[in-house]
Amino acid sequence: MSVRKLTSIKDVAKAAGVSVTTVSRYLNRTLDLPLPTRTRIDEAIKSLDYRPNPHARRLSRGRAETIGLVVPDISNPFFATLVAAVEEEADRRSLAVSLHATLNRPGREITYLQLIEHNHVDGLIFATNHHDDGLLAPLINRTGKVVVVDEDVPGALVPKILCDNENGGYLVGQHLAANAHRRVLFVGGSPEMLSAHRRRQGLSRALNERFGDDAELTAYAGDYTVDYGREAARRFLREDRPGSAIFASSDEIAIGLIEVFKETAVSVPEDVSVVGFDDVSPLHLFAPPITTVRQPVREIGKRALEVLLETNWQDPGSFASEELLPVEIVVRNSVAPPAKP
Amino acid sequence: MSVRKLTSIKDVAKAAGVSVTTVSRYLNRTLDLPLPTRTRIDEAIKSLDYRPNPHARRLSRGRAETIGLVVPDISNPFFATLVAAVEEEADRRSLAVSLHATLNRPGREITYLQLIEHNHVDGLIFATNHHDDGLLAPLINRTGKVVVVDEDVPGALVPKILCDNENGGYLVGQHLAANAHRRVLFVGGSPEMLSAHRRRQGLSRALNERFGDDAELTAYAGDYTVDYGREAARRFLREDRPGSAIFASSDEIAIGLIEVFKETAVSVPEDVSVVGFDDVSPLHLFAPPITTVRQPVREIGKRALEVLLETNWQDPGSFASEELLPVEIVVRNSVAPPAKP
DNA sequence: CCGGTACACTAAATCGCTTTACAAGAGAGT
DNA sequence: ACTCTCTTGTAAAGCGATTTAGTGTACCGG
C-alpha cells in the first residue's frame, strides 16, 4: 500500500557481499558457487523477501514468460473449457496466460496476433470460429509461434490441433443411418470452414454407405451459436422439414433448435431427431437427453500448449502439421427412427 | 521469425530528427508539439511500423497495464461468464488480463495474490469459493488493490462486489412458501461462507413469515459442484427426505441433484421440488425446466473492474465497501406443491 | 620459478522506455 | 533595453534485471 520500494537484486547482492552478477547468475543457474556463498545469497533472499521483478527480467531476456490465448468467446462452454485446460497446463509450467476474446469483432484477431510480434507474449494459441477472409494466414505465417486449434485457418503453415471432424460426422451418419434416417439436415458453419466441411463429409460418407444415391443431405450454414440454431429451426419448419433428422454442428446450435422445437411443440425425437457436437453442456439432463459427439476439449488445450512449447520455431516450414484428436459419439435419447421413413 | 531487430523508439527519433525524449513525451501526451514535428514523428512511426516495447514501458513506469483475475475454476459456467465480462471490460480499456485458476489447490490463492506485490499486475479481481482459513484476509489487506467478487472474504478491507444473496434466498423462500412447502432442505456451502449464510437466512425469513415456527429448514453443506449435488441427493434419499423442496445454492448442485433423481426415478417436481441459483446453464431446456435465481454475473465482472480502476488505493481504509447487485427469480417448472403438505 | 588451469567472482554494457531537470530562442510587456 | 514567459525541445539518469568478456588468486606439475 505504502510506496515502500521493493527489494531488488542489488539489495540482495549487497546483503550477501557479492556482486549483482553473481546473484543473477546463481539464480539462473549459470554459475556454480561454493556452499558458503550460496548460503549467504539464499539467506539474503529469504530475509529480504526478494523476488525478481518480472518486467525487468522480461525486458532483459526479451521473453515474456507469458502465452497468449485468443478465442472467439470465453463464456461459450466449449471455449471456457479450452481456456481452463490451457491455463492449467501453463500454470504447471509457470507461464502466465494472457486472455483475449475476439467476440467476432473484425480486426481483433489481427490485433491479437500482433501481440507476438512485439514480444508481448512468447506464443499464441489461436482459435477462430469463422472463415478467414485472407488476412489471417499470411499474418500467422509472418509472426510464427502460433498454434491453431479447433478450427483450421487454411494456408497457415503452423501446427494445428483439431479434432477428427470427419470421423465425428461419420459416427453421426452411422448412428442416424442405423435409425433409418435417409434424409438428413446438416446445420453448421459455412463450407469454407474446414470443421463444417469435414463433418458434413463424414456424415455424407456414412449416409451413402447405407443408402447410396438415395441419401438426401441438405445443409444450412451459419454461426455456431444458439441464435443461429433458433433461426435454423424456424427455417427447417418453414421449408417443410428437409430431413427426418438434424445434425447440428455444435451443441449451441442444437440448444437453439431444441428451444424452438419446444415452443412449437415439435417433439424430439418423435417428430425429428437431433444430434449435437462438442458435449460440453449438460445435455444429458435435457428433455430428451441429447445425443452428441464428444470433443476432447481439454486434450486439445493441453496438447496445443505442449506443441507451442516443443516446436522448434527457428526452422520455419518444419512445423506445419495437423494433429487430429479422436472424438466419440455419446448416444442418448434424441434419435429415434422416423415416423415415415 | 528471423531475428530481425524490432524498431525501437531510438530509430523513430533518428528518423524524425528529434530526440528520444521528444518522441516518448509526444506519445505519452506530456508534450505539445507543433504540427510539422508531429507529422514527422507520425510518419516515422508509420513507416518503421514502430510499436513501443511493452516490457520496457512496464519496467520504466512500474506498472503492468495488466490486471489479474483469480477464480476457482474457469470451466464452471458461472466463472466462465465472469471471466468473459472482465476480459471484455479490460479490453475496452486496453488492459491485458492475466488469468489464474486456483482449482482448489491450497496455497494457490496466496501465490496469486502475491502477483500484485511484485508488480506483476496492477490489481486483482479475486473470487474464491471456500471459507478463508484465516490467511487470505490479512494478505489482501497488506497488498491492497484487490476487489473481492462473488464470495465474501471476511475481514478483507477492500471493495466487494457481491449479489444480493439474502434477497435471492428470500425470493426462493417466498416462491416455495407460495407453493405450500413448509419443510425445505437447503443445500449450499458451509455457513461460514457469507453467500451460503445469507441465502439461507433469506430463505428462512420467507419461510418464517409464512409458516412461523412450523417452518422446518434443514441444511446440508458442501462444495458448489455437481459432485456435491449428487452426494446431497443420495443423502437426501437416505435420510428419508427431510423436505418437500430443495433449494440448491448453485446450478451445479442442482444439476447433481437432478442427475441422481433421474437415475432413481424420483420425479421433479412431483416428488420433490428443486430450485437452483445462478442461472448460467441452459436450465430452461432441462426436464423439467429448472427454476433458479439469476445472478447478474456480467454486471459483477464489469463493476469489479470499474471499482478496481476507480478506487483511490492511496487512502487505505477509505475503500472497504460492499456493493450488492440485485438478483431475480426465474420461475420455470421445477416447483409444484408437495403431494402431502 | 614459470606457465597453465581452475576457481570464484565481477564490471559494465544492454534491453527500450519514461521522466526530471534544464536550455536556447522568440516574443511580449514595461 | 531588460526581464519574463512561452515554446520547443534535449541530456541523462533511472527502472531491475541479464549477459559478455574478463580479472585476480591459488595451486600444481615440471
Residue range B274-330, pLDDT digits in tens:
999 999 989 998 988 999 999 999 999 999 999 999 998 888 778 889 999 999 999
Assigned domain for B13 exists: yes
Assigned domain for B101 exists: yes
Let me know whether A131 and A246 are in one domain: no
Nearest to B259 among A59, A91, A285 (CB): A285
Let me know whether A33 and A135 are in one domain: no
Indicate if the pLDDT at residue B3 is higher than 50.
Answer: no
Let me know whether B26 and B54 are in one domain: yes
Count of other CB atoms within 10 angstroms of residue B150: 25
What is the residue-averaged pLDDT of chain B?
Answer: 93
Strand C nucleotides, any atom under 7 Å from protein beta carbons: they are 7-12, 14-21
- Closest to A222 measured CA to CA, from A250, A244, A189: A189
Domain of B238? Answer: 165-295
Structural contact between residues A215 and A205, judged by C-beta atoms closer than 8 angstroms = no
Query: Smallest Cα–C1' distance to nucleotide C13: which residue has it?
Result: A60
Let me know whether A37 and A137 are in one domain: no
Report the pLDDT value the prediction gives residue A315, as an integer from 0 to 100: 81
CATH number at residue A109: 3.40.50.2300
| Cβ-based contacts under 8 A for chains A and B | 141
Distance (Å) from the alpha carbon of A243 to chain B's nearest alpha carbon: 23
Q: What pTM value is reported for the model?
A: 0.93
- Please, which residues have CB within 8 angstroms of residue A278's CB and are 6 or more apart in sequence? A77, A78, A250, A251, A252, A292, A293, A294, A295, A297
How far apart CA B52 and CA A206 sit, in angstroms, is 54
A27 and B CB contact within 8 Å: no
A48 and B CB contact within 8 Å: no
- Closest to B320 measured CA to CA, from B157, B86, B186: B157
Assigned domain for B3 exists: no
Let me know whether B157 and B169 are in one domain: no
State which of B295, B316, B334 marks the end of a domain: B295
What is the block-wise mean pLDDT of chain A (341 residues), using blocks of 10 residues? 68 94 94 92 94 94 94 96 97 94 90 85 94 90 93 94 98 97 95 94 97 96 94 97 96 95 95 96 90 97 96 83 97 92 46
pLDDT grade for B341, boundaries at 50, 70 and 90:
very low
Let me know whether A175 and A76 are in one domain: no
Structural contact between residues A161 and A130, judged by C-beta atoms closer than 8 angstroms = no
Report the pLDDT value the prediction gives residue A341, as an integer from 0 to 100: 46
Assigned domain for B176 exists: yes
Assigned domain for A35 exists: yes
| Strand nucleotide closest to residue A60 (CA to C1') | C15
Assigned domain for A175 exists: yes
| C-alpha to C-alpha distances, B20 to B8, B9, B15, B17, B329, nearest whole angstrom | 10, 6, 11, 9, 59
Let me know whether A150 and A192 are in one domain: no
Number of domains in chain B: 3
Assigned domain for A118 exists: yes
State which of A26, A45, A60 marks the end of a domain: A60
Let me know whether A56 and A126 are in one domain: no
How far apart CA A59 and CA A223 sit, in angstroms, is 41
Assigned domain for A3 exists: no
pLDDT digits (tens, 9 = 90+) for B21-73: 999 999 999 999 999 999 999 999 999 999 999 999 999 999 999 999 999 99
User: Which residue on chain B is closest to A316 by alpha carbon?
Assistant: B1
Let me know whether B176 and B82 are in one domain: no
CB-CB under 8 Å, A101 with B81: no
Let me know whether B305 and B281 are in one domain: no
pLDDT grade for B155, boundaries at 50, 70 and 90:
very high
How far apart CA A279 and CA A329 sit, in angstroms, is 9
Report the pLDDT value the prediction gives residue A1, as an integer from 0 to 100: 31
Which chain A residues touch B230 with a CB distance below 8 Å?
Answer: none
C-alpha cell recorded at residue B53: 516495447
Nearest to B80 among A75, A91, A98 (CB): A75
Structural contact between residues A133 and A159, judged by C-beta atoms closer than 8 angstroms = no
Mean local confidence (pLDDT), B137-155: 93
How far apart CA B120 and CA B143 sit, in angstroms, is 12
| Strand nucleotide closest to residue A33 (CA to C1') | C8
End-to-end CA distance of chain A: 73
Let me know whether A142 and A215 are in one domain: no
Let me know whether B74 and B141 are in one domain: yes
CATH number at residue A56: 1.10.260
Structural contact between residues B66 and B98, judged by C-beta atoms closer than 8 angstroms = yes
User: Which residue on chain B is closest to A2 by alpha carbon?
Assistant: B314
